[in-house]
């Protein structure tokens, strides 16, 4: 395999202070189009409150038509990919760690744990180090996502291991998954969406 380039996380970028930039609206303050989109997206979700769905959705509601489209795409990535959820969560964690996205990591660390990703692998991904893998498929998805984010190209050997593990179809899914959660992380970071009150920032400098 090609040599992974280990790069330290940007400490300045880590210093989120939870002073978010997003101007919040109550449900009553939303436009009719926003209310319609809110009702569709919020249906069946937990933790919804007056005008708040949580995470990046509150940002995307600034453009309700876009929010509905992104919600549909997000459901495709969450529920309709060809691989086990464990591998999906590893790719999401690599993406969240690259962007040092506070909310993204907070939301998906537990999901990764629930799918069986070991704590030592999660911690290594968080610090930007390559974990000591015992599962070749874990390693394949990590290395593909890592190189894609950190080097912006995929080594031939890394690509072949990913194809061997997931097929070309699965590799295409993983690449697009990383792109989707890059969009999520960029949205969260730009509007400085932090973690819920009382929770510790994952990337606390």
110-145 pLDDT, tens digit each: 999 999 999 999 999 999 999 999 999 999 999 999
C-alpha distances in angstroms, 58 versus 43, 78, 188?
14, 19, 10
Q: What per-residue confidence (pLDDT) applies to 18?
A: 55
pLDDT band for position 185 (cuts 50, 70, 90): very high
Token representation of residue 88? 């999906």
Give the residue among 70, 44, 19 at the shortest CA–CA distance from 184. Answer: 70
Which of 15-19, 98-102, 201-205 has the least mean pLDDT?
Answer: 15-19
Give the residue among 72, 99, 61, 106 at the shortest CA–CA distance from 185. Answer: 99
Residue 44: left (phi > 0), alpha (psi -120 to 50), or beta?
left
Give the residue among 181, 183, 199, 182 at the shortest CA–CA distance from 18. Answer: 199
Domain residues of the chain, as ranges? 25-78, 83-190
pLDDT band for position 6 (cuts 50, 70, 90): very low
Say whether pLDDT at 85 is over 70: yes
Say whether pLDDT at 46 is over 90: no
Q: What per-residue confidence (pLDDT) applies to 12?
A: 47
Q: What per-residue confidence (pLDDT) applies to 52?
A: 92
Give the residue among 103, 99, 121, 102 at the shortest CA–CA distance from 112. Answer: 121
Q: Give me the CATH topology for the region 83-190.
A: AhpD-like (1.20.1290)
CA end-to-end span of the chain: 32
Q: Are 91 and 178 in contact (CB under 8 A)?
A: yes
Q: What per-residue confidence (pLDDT) applies to 11?
A: 42
> b vs e for 59-69, b when ≥16 Cβ sit within 10 Å of the residue's Cβ?
bbbeebeebbe
Select the more confidently predicted residue: 196 or 9: 196
Q: Are 49 and 183 in contact (CB under 8 A)?
A: no
Cα–Cα distance between 90 and 79 in angstroms, integer?
15
Cα–Cα distance between 204 and 11 in angstroms, integer?
9
Say whether pLDDT at 15 is over 50: no
Mean pLDDT of the chain: 91
Token representation of residue 159? 């690509």
Q: What per-residue confidence (pLDDT) applies to 16?
A: 41
Residue for token pair 């992974």: 4
Residue 52 β-bridge partners: 49
Sign of CA dihedral 78, 142, 87, 114: negative
Average of per-residue pLDDT across 22-29: 94
Query: pLDDT above 90 covers what percent of the chain?
Result: 82
Cα–Cα distance between 85 and 106 in angstroms, integer?
17
Say whether pLDDT at 28 is over 70: yes
């Amino acid at each position: 395999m090609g040599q992974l380039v280990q790069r330290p996380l940007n400490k300045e970028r880590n210093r989120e202070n939870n002073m978010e930039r997003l101007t919040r609206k109550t449900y009553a303050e939303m436009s009719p189009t926003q209310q319609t989109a809110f009702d569709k997206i919020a249906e069946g979700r937990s933790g919804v409150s007056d005008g708040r769905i949580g995470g990046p959705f509150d940002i995307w509601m600034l453009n309700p038509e876009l929010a509905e489209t992104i919600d549909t795409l997000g459901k495709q990535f969450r529920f309709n990919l060809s691989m086990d959820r464990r591998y999906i969560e590893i790719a999401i964690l690599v993406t969240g760690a690259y962007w040092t996205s506070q909310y993204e990591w907070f939301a998906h660390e537990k999901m990764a744990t629930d799918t069986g990703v070991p704590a030592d692998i999660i911690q290594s991904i968080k610090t930007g180090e390559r974990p000591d893998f015992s599962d070749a498929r874990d390693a394949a998805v990590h290395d593909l996502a890592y190189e894609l984010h950190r080097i912006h190209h995929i080594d031939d050997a890394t690509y072949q291991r990913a194809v061997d593990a997931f097929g070309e179809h699965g590799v295409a899914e993983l690449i697009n998954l990383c792109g989707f959660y890059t969009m999520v992380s960029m949205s969260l970071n730009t509007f400085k969406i932090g973690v819920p009150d009382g929770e510790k920032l994952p990337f606390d400098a």
